[in-house]
Amino acid sequence: MYAPDGVKTSRDYAIPDTMKAWVLGDPGELSLREKPVPVPKKAEVLVRIDAVAICATDLEIIYHGPPALIRGGIPHNKNFTPGHEYMGTVVALGPAVDEYRIGQRVTVEIHAGCGQCKRCREGMYTACHNYGLNYGDVDKGHRANGFTTDGGFCEYQVNNINTLVAIPDAMSDEEATLVVTAGTAMYGLTELGGLVAGESVVVTGPGPIGLLGVAVAKALGAQPVILTGTRDNRLKIGRELGADHVVNVTKENAVDAVRRLNGDKGLDYVLECSGAPNAVNEAVRMVNRGGKICLAAFPHQETPVDIAEIVRNNIYVYGIRGEGKSATHRAEAFMSQKRFDATKIHTHTFPLDDLPTAIRYAKDRVEDAIKVVVKARGVSAAHKVAAE
């Protein structure tokens, strides 16, 4: 039975020596295998994974490789386990860890920076200069679970204590997996200025980050909040999450509609979550002079940008990666206080053993899936379960 030297465990949580883990082979190919249960080191804990949400970036990694970086290259056929939006229960403590207790429910951030480089010292650990240098036995310190180290499509995983976010017992497993998504939206709004009360915000793209971007912006007091997208059913969810106005860009010009809804003025902020090829130029034309744009998504091809328009109008453009600057903690606080209902974007749940089906639902948007969750326990049927 699991009993590494220097690691604190409890009889209340029996830990096996091996676990079930999905391993990435060729592009799009996952196989369920046995792996050793990882061992937490200094400032780390072992988390029993209870639920994992599937992110669009997981699909990019599984089918194409980037932005995962394993041993300096793409992650295929390297015994790598993807998955990064997970929550669970602390079941073992690394040496000298007393910040968390065994049995505590937590959700996790993706990135633990090295703590040594310039960016980490600035709190920008998602932009760590030592990104990707610690897969296997290399101990540089940086860790991005599901990107540069094994992720959460398994039964147990090691996490640095800085990546843990305690969650209340009243929060469901499924909701807890969405804290990272809300944290990414929060990080974007933090970089735009943080205090957006009374400021006008447009969110482009009603995917998971965009929908929770609406929720977070409204919880921060933005007025008005406008959501643009192509699917009426997702725009409807945006309304439920607090959008004052929604725009279906297949039915009207996005820029004209957004400016009209704000009194023919540009908006203060744009949170760009669509990744559409024309998204940046449209965002430039949506904001007012001196306005700010945050890019939380990226197109899959190089796209021309009207730099002259940006310069002439003193527009600020920011890019964010992940959920930096402890944004997950702020997002969790909002969710715990019921400032918005993140579960509105959770559509399907599957057991961990049926991960390929869950991925198919997420990838192909079967039954208009938005956020698909897989559970390592608590879902017995090998069939999809629609969210309530």
Residue ending a domain, among 299, 319, 339, is 319
Rg of the chain on CA atoms, in Å: 21
For residues 63 and 165, membership in a common domain is answered with yes
Contact 346, 178 (CB under 8 A): yes
For residues 262 and 348, membership in a common domain is answered with no
Residue 305, domain CATH: 3.40.50.720
For residues 163 and 237, membership in a common domain is answered with no
Q: What is the pLDDT of residue 135?
A: 59
Q: What is the pLDDT of residue 379?
A: 61
For residues 130 and 53, membership in a common domain is answered with yes
Residue 144, domain CATH: 3.90.180.10
Asked whether residue 10 is assigned to any structural domain, the reply reads no
Helices (H), 204-354: 208-219, 232-240, 254-261, 279-286, 307-312, 327-336
For residues 163 and 36, membership in a common domain is answered with yes
Residue ending a domain, among 286, 319, 352, is 319
Which of helix, strand or coil describes residue 236? helix
Residue ending a domain, among 263, 285, 319, is 319
Q: Report d(CA 57, CA 203) in Å as an integer.
A: 19
Asked whether residue 216 is assigned to any structural domain, the reply reads yes
Residue the block writes with tokens 């921060």: 220
Q: Report which of 248, 232, 87 is spatially closest to residue 171, judged by C-alpha positions.
A: 87
For residues 190 and 175, membership in a common domain is answered with no
Asked whether residue 375 is assigned to any structural domain, the reply reads yes
Asked whether residue 376 is assigned to any structural domain, the reply reads yes
For residues 234 and 120, membership in a common domain is answered with no
Asked whether residue 158 is assigned to any structural domain, the reply reads yes
Transcribe 282-319 into DSSP letters: HHHHHEEEEEEEEE-S--SS-----HHHHHHTT-EEEE
Asked whether residue 109 is assigned to any structural domain, the reply reads yes
Residue 267 makes CB contacts below 8 A (sequence gap 6+) with 200, 201, 202, 226, 258, 259, 286, 287, 288, 291
Q: 10-residue block means of pLDDT along the chain (388 residues)?
A: 92 96 98 97 95 96 94 93 98 96 96 90 90 65 88 97 96 97 96 90 97 97 97 97 98 96 94 95 97 91 93 96 92 97 98 98 96 84 47
For residues 208 and 95, membership in a common domain is answered with no
Domain count, the chain: 2
Asked whether residue 167 is assigned to any structural domain, the reply reads yes
Cβ of 357: how many Cβ atoms within 10 Å?
A: 18
For residues 279 and 293, membership in a common domain is answered with yes
Q: Report d(CA 192, CA 22) in Å as an integer.
A: 37
Residue 253 makes CB contacts below 8 A (sequence gap 6+) with none
Q: What is the pLDDT of residue 195?
A: 80
Q: Name the residue range of residue 81's domain.
A: 18-179+326-386
For residues 306 and 337, membership in a common domain is answered with no
Contact 62, 10 (CB under 8 A): no
In the numeric block, which tokens belong to residue 388? 């309530």
Asked whether residue 7 is assigned to any structural domain, the reply reads no
For residues 134 and 217, membership in a common domain is answered with no
Report pLDDT digits (tens) over 249-268.
999 999 999 999 999 889 99
Q: What is the pLDDT of residue 16?
A: 97
Contact 76, 111 (CB under 8 A): no
Q: How far apart are the first and last CA of the chain?
A: 38
For residues 129 and 25, membership in a common domain is answered with yes
